[in-house]
Amino acid sequence: MYAIYVRSSSLLFQYCIYVISTILCVVLSFFKVMVLYILRTEYQKIILYAQKNFWHLKYKGNDKILFMECRKFCKLWAVTACFFIQISVSFYVITPLYGNYGKNKSERMLPFQLWLDIPMSVTPYYEILFTIQVLALEQIGLTFLSSDICLCIMNVHVMYQFRMLQHRLSNLWKIIAEQRDKMDYTEKCYTALKECIRQHQLLIKFCDKLENVHTLPILAHVVVFSLLMCVDAYEIFLADVTATRRLTFVFTVIGNFIHIVTFTYSCHGLIEESTKVCFAAYSGWWTTLPMTETGKMIRKDVNTIMMKSKRPCCLSAGGFFPVSLETSTAVRI
């Protein structure tokens, strides 16, 4: 804030924009960490539930194939996001090193300008301050991204859990035509259906917990990203800055774009897959089961599943709007 005051009083608008971009990243990172710290008990329960029921569960058959596909997507997303955030952080460090090349020690620059009553360009003050700023920059980069990576991983795992549920519902009645004792088979179908219903209820509750913990960070995420895209675009196309600083914002914009698209894709997938449970339940052969007491209960429970699936699971931005792929198109430069 002091940097903005100093530069605005000197009419250095370009540097003010640069400082505003940095402050937005710091504020967003701090806000996410504070929200997760306040809701740490609920957040811990989410992690423990996912660890027990998603990550360390022994899958078989089609479920195992879907789980391996889910793991590959999560790894690819995490590596890509970390790569671009590290590239952006690296250029914050390269910029002062490139600017210091060929200059006297008294003119050496830091990644971020400071106003202290010490000779900051003199050894060892310069090296100490440079190291502190690099470590702080790395920490900000990690906090900026870590909660979003975790949320995307959770979303993708829930999305694939809904796909597994769809497969189970679709294959629940596949051998009904081969059964001679349909009364006994109806009982077995009802037992398997109740297990699917329990899983569906648990997934809905898990999505509600994700919503309660992440709704405010998502709102801050979308708002700040809209501002960052504008500020970074100014630094790339209009500001008279060095090539290294311009590259910093180029990689920041690329990383932000991939970030917001992947993030909204995971939320959109949650909406789609939770809705498709309705079609998986409807497409079964449960209508051919005998109209016994158990058969009537099956029909009633299948109708209940379809009614619940018509209201998709989703994550919202502060309760104002659900996050989907359309949200990424609304974040414009």
pLDDT tens by residue, 215-249: 999 999 888 888 888 888 887 787 777 777 788 78
Query: CA-to-CA distance for 161 and 210, rounded, in angstroms?
Result: 15
pLDDT at 6 over 50: no
Band (272; pLDDT cuts 50, 70, 90):
very high
Query: CA-to-CA distance for 257 and 251, rounded, in angstroms?
Result: 10
Band (255; pLDDT cuts 50, 70, 90):
confident
pLDDT tens by residue, 29-47: 889 889 999 999 999 999 9
Sorted by where each begins, the domain ranges of the chain are: 1-330
pLDDT tens by residue, 50-108: 999 999 888 888 899 999 999 999 998 888 888 888 887 887 888 788 777 777 777 78
Q: What is the pTM of this model?
A: 0.84
Average pLDDT over residues 15-20: 76
**Which residues have a Cβ under 8 Å from the Cβ of 101 and sit 6 or more positions away?**
none
CA angle centred on 64, ends 42 and 174, rounded to 5°? 110
pLDDT at 212 over 90: yes
Band (154; pLDDT cuts 50, 70, 90):
very high
Candidates 210, 219, 113; CA nearest to 153 is 210
Average pLDDT over residues 301-312: 89
Band (180; pLDDT cuts 50, 70, 90):
low
